[in-house]
């Protein structure tokens, strides 16, 4: 569960930054890290990757609605290694 540990580490480091998020918001993020599975975190990273690098010519809503229909070549280059084999599972997480 390296992804969860990394997310927790980032949340703790960010909480030490002056003028960072309020305590309630930090608590919400920590709760999400606790509740999310590694698959949830991987999908969040994928959506961030797509958004930051404009990797796919879709908007986020289209990606969420059509994850099962993404082309194999597109899936192969996204930072979710087992996405191709588990599209139905990941679609369920995104709902």
Q: Are residues 60 and 82 in the same domain?
A: yes
Residue among 79, 58, 53 nearest 70 (CA): 58
Domain count for the chain, please give it: 2
Q: Are residues 16 and 60 in the same domain?
A: no
Which is higher by pLDDT, 35 or 55?
Answer: 35
Q: Are residues 55 and 83 in the same domain?
A: yes
Residue 21 has pLDDT above 60, yes or no: yes
Q: Are residues 48 and 32 in the same domain?
A: no
Q: Are residues 21 and 65 in the same domain?
A: no
Q: What share of the chain is helix, strand, coil (3-state, %, to 5)?
A: 70, 0, 30
pLDDT band at 8 (very low <50, low <70, confident <90, very high): confident
**pLDDT tens, residue by residue, 43-77:** 887 777 766 765 556 565 666 556 656 666 666 66
9, 28 contact by CB (below 8 A): no
Q: Are residues 47 and 24 in the same domain?
A: no
**Amino acid 29: pLDDT:** 84
10: containing domain: 1-36
What is the C-alpha separation between 70 and 1, in angstroms, rounded? Answer: 27
**Amino acid 4: pLDDT:** 87
What is the pTM for the complete model shown? 0.60
Angle between helices 87-94 and 38-53 (to 10 degrees): 80
How many other C-beta atoms lie within 10 A of the C-beta of residue 42?
Answer: 20
């Amino acid at each position: 569960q390296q992804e969860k540990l990394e997310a927790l580490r980032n949340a703790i480091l960010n909480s030490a930054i002056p003028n960072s998020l309020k305590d309630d918001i930090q608590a919400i993020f920590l709760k999400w890290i606790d509740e999310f599975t590694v698959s949830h975190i991987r999908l969040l990273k994928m959506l961030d990757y797509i958004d930051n690098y404009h990797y796919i010519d879709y908007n986020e809503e289209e990606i969420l609605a059509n994850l099962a229909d993404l082309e194999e070549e597109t899936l192969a280059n996204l930072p979710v290694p087992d996405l191709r084999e588990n599209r139905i599972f990941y679609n369920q997480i995104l709902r």
